[in-house]
Amino acid sequence: MNIYKAISKSVIDKITQVPEIKNFITSDILNAMSIEIPKVRDFGDFSTNVAMLLAKTLGKKPRDIADALVPYLKQIPNVASVSVAGPGFINLKLKDDYIKELSFKEDTPQNLSNGKKIDLDYGGYNVGKNLHIGHLRTTVVGDTFNRISKYLGYKTKAYNHMGDWGRPMGLIIAWVLENGMPKNVDDVNRMYPASSARAKEDPDWLEKAQKITVELQNGNPEYKKIYDTFIPMSLGQVDRLLTRLNILPFDENKGERLIAEYVPDVQKILEQKGLIEHSDGAEIISVKQDSDTEPMPPVMWKSSAGAQTYAAADLTAIYYREKTDNPDAIIYFTDNRQTLHFKQIFRAARMAGFANDAELQHIGFGTITGADGKPFKTRDGNVPSLDEMLNIVAESVKNRVKESGKILPDSTIEMIALAALKFNDLMHDVKSDYIFDVDAVTNFEGRTGPYILYTAVRLNSILKKISLVSDVQDCELSAEERDVLMFLLDFDRTVEVAFEKRAPYILANYAYDLCKLINTFYHNCPIMRDDIEDKVKSKRIKIVNQSVKTLSKAIDLMGLKVPDEM
Ligand code: ARG
């Protein structure tokens, strides 16, 4: 339950009952009104600025208004005290019994979706290339966002818009025609870069690849046979990596090739609406608007060579998704170099009348850099594959574990490495660049994945060793215990905010703050010691139990795996 929402609602209910004030509660005031959870909880659990907002309209001092509101707010059930602070902030403190009741009862899963459906587009891997560091954020953040949406009750459909129908296909086929079929995915991964390098130097080669691409798209059986040989190799590689990364299965691997079937339908609609223009042999859609202050090039609908374009696949995908899913939103997670692309596509979609009822949103990522601020490369100067990234991290974890004198199985090392890599990715605001420093992300202390796992493992092991000894109904809460429980009660609000802001980093940082809080609590409020009264012991066990539950939920949403020991 989102206790913050419940309190906000009660506060608004109460103030709109106050006779001398209720007529002044405009929607402007309600919009500007904040109910905050103060960092320092001494004054209360929630604090509102409503008296300050009313001061102007009423022509009174904020403190006087606050004083007048206090008796009303005191009537809110489960509020222990209401006080006025500073220039006129009103603070509310909840009753301990209420906190205990909320904390220790079974929480029923919430459903906030109103039945809404969301299509998510992330991953978007390319055939012919291994998954690399550039796919990390779209994969990890997209997957967590998917999990968050599901947690809140949304119906999601995760699309992996595969890059499997463009020029790289022609380049690979041209290479195969000269050098023979690939035997495995490593062969495929070598062919594309080799052929692409050659095309940069040799215009004839490029032209040949372009021609092959168009012919493949038009159904040339010889090319299709080659294509059908290397596609499963590439897809197998994607699947294996997604499993290694503990990513939920995509609902549809419908990318550039499978969407091609619907391109003629869209072509017809675009033509009927008069949206297609011809320019140097290509077909384009002009999406410029008078109000544009930045360059807005046209959408390339069909290339001058006659090939289906990247843009055509995305525009058609919107048409398809509206027809099959009728989603309330389509959200794309890619790096921010594609911002313009999606702006163009969204405009073209609106002009064509596609998905008019759906919100179209692109979340653009920053870059993962090395210490020098340039895109992260391995020591030999290569763009690392995601396998290599995980291996580098696992190696560092292994060394740390060795240094500490512990022996952990490889499966545990892998789980820690996964947490290190993913948590580090999740904790940064997606929009900004971040520096990837392998030593920092594998630290067992600080804002890291290993620290999160370590806390979970430790709490699990405490719970294994002890069991409840008495009832906890009539025991008091210390300030520290109260803080932990209040923070746990803030979990659902955190998930909701992370969803609304499309910002999984809010959840990741909550998980870290929770770990810190619970570790301090455990340090200051011993459980196992013999001199601790049964009642107190039981209460603390319950708090640990509740913390584990909440932390586990956060860990699941981040797609991490918790080992048995660390
Ligand atoms: N395959 C593309 C690339 O690697 C990313 C696809 C992103 N998703 C999309 N619907 N365009 O650049």
Best CA proximity match to 300, nearest among 323, 277, 331, 317:
277
| Residue 547 near residue 562, CB atoms below 8 Å | no
**Residues paired with 369 in a beta bridge:** 375, 435
Mutational test site, ligand 1, from 127, 300, 334, max ligand atoms within 8 Å of CB: 334
- The region of weakest confidence among 145-154, 231-240, 256-265, 527-536 is 527-536
Tell me what pLDDT residue 366 has. 95
What is the CA(23)–ligand 1 centre distance, in A?
Answer: 52
Ligand 1 atom with the shortest distance to the CA of 125: 1
Residue 429: pLDDT over 90:
yes
Q: Percentage of residues in the chain with pLDDT exceeding 70? A: 99
What is the CA(255)–ligand 1 centre distance, in A?
Answer: 9
Query: Which two tokens mark 332?
Result: 């794309």
Q: Percentage of residues in the chain with pLDDT exceeding 90? A: 82
Average pLDDT over residues 335-348: 97
Which residue's C-alpha comes closest to atom 5 of ligand 1? 124
Residue 132: pLDDT over 90:
yes
Q: Is the sign of the CA dihedral 444, 450, 456, 461 positive or negative?
A: negative
d(CA 498, CA 506): 5
What is the CA(164)–ligand 1 centre distance, in A?
Answer: 10
Which residue's C-alpha comes closest to atom 6 of ligand 1? 124
Per the prediction, the chain carries an average pLDDT of: 94
What is the CA(205)–ligand 1 centre distance, in A?
Answer: 25
pLDDT tens-digit readout, 215-228: 999 999 999 999 99
What is the CA(19)–ligand 1 centre distance, in A?
Answer: 57
Residue 473: pLDDT over 90:
no
pLDDT tens-digit readout, 512-535: 999 999 999 999 998 888 898 888
pLDDT-based confidence at 299, cuts 50/70/90? very high
Can you state the angle between helices 62-73 and 50-58, rounded to 10 degrees? Answer: 120
What is the CA(173)–ligand 1 centre distance, in A?
Answer: 21
Ligand 1 atom with the shortest distance to the CA of 135: 4
pLDDT tens-digit readout, 48-85: 999 999 998 889 999 999 999 999 999 999 999 999 99
d(CA 494, CA 509): 10
Within 6 A (CB) of ligand 1 lie 121, 124, 126, 161, 163, 314, 332, 334
d(CA 471, CA 377): 57
pLDDT tens-digit readout, 165-194: 999 999 999 999 999 999 999 999 999 999
Mutational test site, ligand 1, from 119, 126, 169, max ligand atoms within 8 Å of CB: 126
Residue 466: pLDDT over 90:
no
What is the CA(263)–ligand 1 centre distance, in A?
Answer: 17
Residue 472: pLDDT over 80:
no
Give alpha helix (H) positions in 363-437: 386-403, 410-427
Residue 469: pLDDT over 70:
no
pLDDT-based confidence at 306, cuts 50/70/90? very high
User: Residue 162: which residues within 8 A CB-CB, separation 6 or more?
Assistant: 124, 125, 126, 127, 235, 253, 254, 255, 256, 257
d(CA 328, CA 229): 38
| Residue 170 near residue 211, CB atoms below 8 Å | yes
Which residue's C-alpha comes closest to atom 7 of ligand 1? 124
Secondary structure (DSSP) of 201-242: H-HHHHHHHHHHHHHHHTT-HHHHHHHHHHHHHHHHHHHHHH
What is the CA(469)–ligand 1 centre distance, in A?
Answer: 56
Most confident of 370-374, 441-445, 533-537: 441-445
